[in-house]
Chains A and B, each alone.
Chain A
Amino acid sequence: MAVTPGTGEYTRARSTATAGSGKNLLDVKALKMHFPLTQGIIFQRQVGAVRAVDGIDFFVEKGETLGLVGESGCGKSTTGRAILQLYKPTAGTVNFDGTELTTLGGEQMRKMRRRMQMIFQDPYASLNPRMTVGNIIGEPLEVHNLARGGEKTQRVQELLRVVGLNPYFTNRYPHEFSGGQRQRIGIARALAVEPEFIVCDEPISALDVSIQAQVINLLEELQDRFKLTYLFIAHDLSVVRHISDRVAVMYLGKIVELADRVDLYERPLHPYSQALLSAVPIPDPAVESKRKRIILTGDVPSPVNPPSGCRFHTRCWKAQQICSEVDPEFIEHEPRHWAACHFPGA
Chain B
Amino acid sequence: MATTAATAGRIAATPGAARASRSLWSNAWWKLRRDRLTIGAFILLTIFALLAAAAPLLSEYVFHYRFAQQDLLHTYEKPQFDNLAYLLGTDEIGRSQVVRLLYGGQVSLGVGFVAALVNLTVGIAVGLTAGYFRGVIDDGVTFVITTLNGIPQIYLFLIIAALWQPGPYVLIAIIGLLNWTGITLYVRGQTFSLREREFITAAHTIGARDRRIMFRHILPNVLPLIFVLAAIDVGAIILLESALSFLGFGILPPTPSWGNMLTNGASYFVRAWWLVVSPGVMIFLTVLCLYLIGDGLRDALDPRLKTH
Interface size on A, residues (CB 8 A): 47
* A122-B198, A144-B207 known; A168+B18 contact, CB < 8 A: yes
Decide if A120 is an interface residue (CB 8 Å cutoff).
yes
Which B residue sits closest to A166, measured CB to CB?
B11
- Least CB distance from A108 to B in Å reads 11
Task: With CB as the reference atom, state the residue of chain A lying closest to B19.
Answer: A171
Judge if A99 is at the interface, Cβ distance under 8 Å.
Answer: no
B12 interface residue (CB < 8 Å to A): yes
Tell me whether A143 is interfacial, beta carbon within 8 Å.
Answer: yes
Residues of A within 8 A of B302 (CB): 130
Determine the chain A residues whose CB is within 8 A of the CB of B301 once the complex forms: 130
B249-297 residues with Cβ-Cβ distance < 8 A to A are none
Number of A-B residue pairs having CB atoms within 8 Å of each other in the complex: 115
A128 in contact with B206 (CB, 8 Å):
no
Number of B interface residues, CB 8 Å? 38
Q: Tell me the smallest distance from the CB of B207 to a CB of chain A, in Å.
A: 4
Q: Which chain A residues in 111-149 approach chain B with CB under 8 Å? A: 111, 113-114, 117-118, 120, 122, 125-132, 134-135, 139-140, 143-144
CA separation between A302 and B201, bound complex, in Å?
26
Contact B209 A120 (CB under 8 A): no
Q: Would you give the 0/1 interface string for B88-112, flagging 1 where the beta carbon is closer than 8 Å to chain A?
A: 0000000000000000000000000
Min CB gap A192→B, angstroms: 8
CA distance A166 to B7 in the complex (A): 9
Min Cβ gap B200→A in Å is 8
Do residues B207 and A84 form an inter-chain contact, with CB atoms below 8 A?
A: no
Q: Beta-carbon contacts of B197-224 to A below 8 Å, as 1s and 0s? A: 1110111111111001000110011000
- Are A166's CB and B12's CB within 8 A? yes
Asked if A113 and B207 make an inter-chain contact with CB atoms under 8 angstroms apart, the answer reads yes
**Which residue of chain A is the closest to B20 with respect to CB atoms?**
A171
How distant is the Cα of A164 from the Cα of B221 in the complex, in angstroms? 29
Expressed in whole angstroms, the Cα–Cα distance for A186 and B201 within the complex equals 12
A127 touches B3 (CB 8 A): no
B198 contacts A125, C-beta separation under 8 Å = yes
Q: A143-B208, A144-B207, A166-B12 are in contact. Are A221 and B304 (CB under 8 A)?
A: no
CB proximity to A under 8 Å, residues B4-39? 4-5, 7-8, 11-12, 14, 17-24
User: A129 — which chain B residues lie within 8 A by C-beta?
Assistant: 199, 221, 303-304
Q: Are A171 and B7 in contact (CB under 8 A)?
A: no
**With A125-B199, A166-B12, A166-B14 as contacts: A139 and B3 at CB distance below 8 Å:** no
CB-defined contacts of B23 to chain A, threshold 8 Å: 132, 135
Min CB–CB distance A241 → chain B (angstroms): 20
Contacts A161-B8, A166-B12, A171-B21 known; A193 to B206 CB distance under 8 Å?
Answer: yes
Chain A hits for B3, CB < 8 A: 164, 213-214, 217-218
CA distance A193 to B208 in the complex (A): 12
Distance in Å: Cβ of A152 to nearest Cβ of chain B: 12
Q: How far is the CA of A116 from the CA of B206 in the complex (A)?
A: 9
Partner of A218, one of B4, B199, B207, B209: B4
Other A-B pairs beyond A110-B207, A214-B3, 11, CB < 8 Å: A110-B209, A113-B206, A120-B198, A129-B221, A129-B304, A161-B8, A164-B7, A165-B7, A186-B202, A189-B202, A193-B207
- What are some 13 contacts across the A-B interface (CB < 8 A)? A81-B201, A110-B209, A113-B206, A122-B198, A125-B197, A129-B199, A131-B217, A143-B206, A164-B7, A164-B11, A214-B4, A218-B4, A220-B1
Shortest Cβ-Cβ A-B pairs, 10 listed: A113-B207, A164-B4, A125-B198, A140-B206, A166-B11, A173-B303, A168-B18, A221-B1, A126-B198, A168-B17
